[in-house]
Structures are given as C-alpha cells and as structure tokens.
Amino acid sequence: MRRCEPPPTRWRAGQLNALLPLVEQVIQQTTRRVLQGEKVPASEKVVSLFEPHTAILRKGKPGKPVEFGRLIWLDEVDGGIITR
C-alpha cells in the first residue's frame, strides 16, 4: 500500500513579492563582499531569506563558531511571572 504525500504548497504572488527585496539585498551584499572586497556590516546583512529577523550573534570567545538567531531576555519574579 502506497502512502499519500500532501501536495506541495504553492507560492502566492504576495509571498513571492515579499521575498524579492530580500533576494535583491543578498545579491547586493554578495557583490559588495565577494566582487568588490568590501566588508559589509552585520546590520546590513540578510542571513536567512525565510527568517529575515535572524541576526548574527558573536559571543566574543576565540574559537567559538558564530551563531545565528535572536537573543531574548526573560525576567522572572516570584511565582514564575515573566516581567519582561
């Protein structure tokens, strides 16, 4: 018996239009970095097309690999209530 797979999701025009500016920015940053030898600041880089809010996280420790993601701060008071 053959298992049915769900059909692939089709991209809507709105999703594609939202992705195009990020692709253009990646092309620009790659051109600047690779072809022109320019150092592109981390704040100007796109590191993920599908999660554009992702940031480059440097821990400052030699030999430690660079990580990607977002830092969050959680402050907790008595009783487990998150205050920030």
31: amino acid identity, one letter: T
The confidence score (pLDDT) of residue 31 equals 94
Q: Give domain status of residue 3, yes or no.
A: no
Check residues 52 and 21 and name the one with the higher pLDDT: 21
Does a structural domain hold residue 22? yes
d(CA 84, CA 73) in angstroms, rounded, equals 7
Q: Is residue 23 part of a domain?
A: yes
Mean pLDDT of 39-65: 79
Q: Is the pLDDT of residue 1 over 60?
A: no
pLDDT given at position 82? 67
Residue 43 covered by a domain: yes
Instruction: Tell me if the pTM is above 0.75.
Output: no
The reply to whether 4 falls in a domain is no
- Tens-place pLDDT, residues 13-31: 777 888 888 899 989 999 9
> Does any domain span residue 6?
no
* Domain tally, the chain: 1
* 3 state SS of 34: helix
**Full residue range of the structural domain in which residue 37 is found:** 13-82
As given in the structure block, the two tokens for residue 35 are 């072809």
